[in-house]
Structures are given as C-alpha cells and as structure tokens.
Amino acid sequence: MDNFWQSLPKPLLVLAPMEDVTDTVFREVVLSASAPGALNVMFTEFTSTDGLCHEKGREKVSQRLKVNKSELDRLKAGNIKLVAQIWGDNPENFRKSAQLITEMQLFDGIDINMGCPVNKVVKHKSCSALINYPDLAKEIIYATAESTDLPVSVKTRIGFNQIITEEWIGHVLETKPKAITIHARTRKMMSEGPALWDEIGKAVELRNQLNPGTVIIGNGDVSSYGDALEKAEKYGVDGAMVGTGIFRNPWLFNQIAPEITIADRIELMRFHISLYRDTWGGSKDYNVLKRFFKIYLNGFAGAAHWRDQFMRALNFDESLELLCNMQNEFRMKEYITADRY
C-alpha cells in the first residue's frame, strides 16, 4: 500500500480530526470550498476501538466512519487522502479495528489518537493519557501497524502535565510510524495559551536523528493558508494541520479565493444544511448543526441578527426558509443601492 505521507508533495496541508465536526458532511463542505492542490489530507472524527469491536455498539460508532459517495468522488478527483482516526487503550481492539477499517476500503491511512485531552477518555488511559504510559502506547502502535497495510500515524501532544517533547516523541519514533502530528501544547494546557511551535521544531530535529522516514506535521494556532506555509518553513515540518481555524474561514484551503461575498456564504451554508439533512436525516440531532452557523454568519452588517434567527430554528425546513429570507433581503439591498447610484 502506498505511503502517501511520503509520496504527496510537501508541505502538506491537513484538516484536523474534530469531535462532532469532521463527519462526511463537513469534510465535503470544506472540499467544495477548497482550491485544487491546497488541501492534501483529511481526518474522520475520533472513533472508539472498543465501540468498533462491540457487536451491539458497532453500528452507532460506525457513523463516524461514514463516507458519502459524493465526498469520495471529490477526494479521488483531488488526490486528497482520508485517514480514519481511532482511540482506546486495548491493543487487541486496535488490532481488530485496524482490520475492520482496512476491509472497508474507504481510507488511505489509520491514525491513533494520543492527543485528545477530554477527562472521560483520559481517565481510561486513552488518548493523551497514553503519554504517561509509553510502553502501552508503543504496544498499541505496533498492534495497529501489524494488522493493516495502510500507513499508520499518531496524533499527540508535547506532554501531559509538563513539557516532555523529546522524551515522549522519542518513544513514539521508536515504533517508526509513517507520520506524527504534534499539537504544540500539553494536555494540561488544553487549547489555552499560545501553541509552542519551538517544541515541534525540537521534535523535527529528533526525527532527523532517529527516524528520517517519519513525516512530522505541526498543529496549533494555524490561522490561514499563508500561516500554515510560514510555520512549515520556519519550523522545518513536513506540513501543518488546521483545526479551529476552519471555523473562522471555511475557505481557508483556497489561497486564490476572491473576496467572500454574502451570496457565497449563503450558498455554502445552504449546501451544508441540505447535505446534513440528506446524509443524516433523523439519525443525528438537528441541533448539532447549529455549531456551524457562526462560520457563515459573521463579518457583515446584520450578521448577529441572522445568527440569532438561525439559532432559534427548530429543524432543517425552518433553517432553509431563513436562508431564502436572508438571500431576498440582501438582494433587495443590492437592488436599492444599485438603483440609488
């Protein structure tokens, strides 16, 4: 199987895995707003290995690995790679999960979450807690890699309660993962304070000494396409991962985009709502969609008013009707302005 982490041109631009965000719908929304060649790799939401290996829980958990055909077509057309991210604390379940994911033939890689800081997963020796259990972490990486021909990568942090970048990344590098994404904060920092990219630079130097074949991706406070390229060059990483920056600008992976108009915002929001409805129907709570509305409804006069209206909407039909009202209102304003001058 092709190790795309090495074969894709550098620097790589990557969309981060985000809980209740990077499902097949949102990924396709970002794909539709991205320029050819500007986005290289995308990740699924975090998927529990325990859930995947549980006969009754598998169906619900597998929603996180759903890939719409329309998304798959866009990925293939743009040579953009899709990575399934998994988490847990049981090496045997990682082994089984890797086999299941490989058999799905939808993904180009498997990533192990060793960075999520949320208490409910950390208390079970999962995600960022694995920084405190390097032997278990290595066992999990080996078990996963032995069970698939897909390239296996790791997403992690620079420490748990304190910064131990070189010690911890040294442990991970021993397993020779195809890539390591490093969020430049400790678990204790969560997402607070500036990302410590100098620590990522230290990890790059260590990689160069111990295992030059492992790709290093930097993560934390990447605010724009230009910022991603600048950080990649300054710190010597092979690429940069965008997380919450996509909430400020869904066109972030479109470096040649003209000024984004209100009409552009309305059309992308309509696409998002319609695709979410058609994909999930009643199987996912409509209200989850509301966390995305601020992405589109900002930066123009009257944005706060429209955000309030959309947050009050109770279902897909109401939100789509509001979009029509919004579109008509702005068309009328443009007509009046054009007539006046």
**Catalytic-role residue among 53, 116, 127, 324:** 116
Q: What are phi and psi of 148, to 5 degrees?
A: -150, 155
Of 31, 12, 17, 14, residue with least CA distance to 71: 31
The token pair at 84 is 């399934």
Residue type, 328: N
- Choose among 143, 140, 153, 145: nearest CA to 179: 153
180 forms bridges with which residues in the sheet? 154, 216
Instruction: DSSP for 232-289, please give it.
Output: HHHHT-SEEEESTHHHH-TTTT-TT--PPPHHHHHHHHHHHHHHHHHHHTTSS-GGGG
Please indicate whether residue 53 is annotated as part of the active site.
Answer: no
Closest CA to 1 of 89, 81, 115: 81
User: Of the candidates 213, 179, 142, which has an alpha carbon nearest to the alpha carbon of residue 12?
Assistant: 179
Instruction: Name the residue type at position 35.
Output: A
Give the amino acid at 72. Answer: L
Q: Quick one: tokens of 318?
A: 């109401």
Cite the active site residues.
Answer: 116
